[in-house]
């Protein structure tokens, strides 16, 4: 009986943690963060739609397979939806099958930053826009060569600009 109670309690705690943290908002990036482009939370709310604000400023995760950018095959550059910083090129995009746009590298080493994220208990590498600090997604070590990295990025955090300017 005691083992059953322990298992049930553990399952309940895990369900509560996953249910409230996996897809929902987290920490709100603030104007005090040290980035070249900074705004107050109210200014970001006026600039971004609700889903963009949740992902970029509160580190939420969009539902997999919900972004049209996941299947985009056009040539061009993906920009941060918060500040228009160029962050990823279509040249580095690949189909990871995960449900989010994936890239094996950013446009350059200064375009994005990273930090360790423990929100799911185990450490992950969170990637953010280097100009505004907006949360873009996470980086994993299961991507293709030449880097072996998979930048798994929320499509709602990006704006795509075609190479031909159209």
Q: Which domains does the chain have, with CATH numbers?
A: 32-162 (2.170.150.20)
Instruction: Give the model confidence (pLDDT) of 38-60 as tens digits.
Output: 999 999 999 999 999 999 999 99
Q: Who wins on pLDDT, 15 or 64?
A: 64
pLDDT level of residue 3 (50, 70, 90 thresholds): low
Instruction: Give the model confidence (pLDDT) of 99-149 as tens digits.
Output: 999 999 999 999 999 998 787 788 889 999 999 999 999 999 999 999 999
Q: Which of 80, 129, 132, 152 is catalytic?
A: 152
Residue 125 region, left (φ>0) first, then alpha (ψ -120 to 50), else beta?
A: beta
pTM of the model: 0.79
Annotation says 83 is catalytic: no
Q: In what order do the strands lie in the sheet with 122-129?
A: 93-94, 102-103, 150-153, 135-140, 122-129, 112-120
Q: Is the pLDDT of residue 12 over 80?
A: no
| Start-end of H helices in 117-166 | none
Q: What is the Cβ-side half-sphere exposure of residue 42, based on CA atoms within 13 angstroms?
A: 0
Give CA–CA dist 135/156, Å, rounded: 11
């Amino acid at each position: 009986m005691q083992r059953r109670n322990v298992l049930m309690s553990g399952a309940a705690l895990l369900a509560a943690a996953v249910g409230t943290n996996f897809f929902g908002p987290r920490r709100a990036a603030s104007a005090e963060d040290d980035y070249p482009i900074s705004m107050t939370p109210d200014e970001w709310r006026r600039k971004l739609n609700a889903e963009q604000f949740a992902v970029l400023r509160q580190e939420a995760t969009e539902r997999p397979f919900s972004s049209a950018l996941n299947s985009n095959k056009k040539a061009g550059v993906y920009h941060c939806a918060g500040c228009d910083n160029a962050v990823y090129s279509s040249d580095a995009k690949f189909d990871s099958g995960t449900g989010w746009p994936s890239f094996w590298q950013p446009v350059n080493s200064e375009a994005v930053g990273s930090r360790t994220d423990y929100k799911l208990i185990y450490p992950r590498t969170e990637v953010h826009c280097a100009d505004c600090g907006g949360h873009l997604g996470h980086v994993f070590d299961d991507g293709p060569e030449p880097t072996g990295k998979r930048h798994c990025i929320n499509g709602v955090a990006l704006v795509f600009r075609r190479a031909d300017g159209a």
